[in-house]
Structure 1
Amino acid sequence: MHVPSAHGMFSDCAQLAYADVSRLTTSGSTDFGEMFYECSSLRQVNFGRFDTSAATIMSLML
């Protein structure tokens, strides 16, 4: 699945402990800001082939 922007994708998911984003196609995506913001239970993320090479915004990503 192509993701043009990941901004706030999982924000405020307080019960999220694990996220697998390895299958997301993020090439060309520029905004990853607040992607996991306020995910207080998050302990592990599988980024796999996660491409942030075009990123211009990554503030508060984790």
Structure 2
Amino acid sequence: MIDFDHPSIQALATELQADQSSITAIAQACFEWVRDQIRHSSDSQLNPVTCRASEVLEY
């Protein structure tokens, strides 16, 4: 359910890759952003439980 073409996902991807100099650095920046910024809905007992990447960013 990675709706990579959603405008909010595209905007975040553009932001995350802006200062990176390699594909590896971009992948690391994306991984670290998700690791540090996204709480897993079921682990954190959040509502609503999200599925698509754009929903995760919205909630």
Structure 1 and Structure 2 fold alike (TM over 0.5): no
Normalising by structure 1, what TM-score? Answer: 0.23
The structure where strand makes up a greater share of residues is 1
Normalising by structure 2, what TM-score? Answer: 0.23
- Which fold has the larger relative contact order, with Cα–Cα distance below 8 Å and residues 6 or more apart in sequence? 2
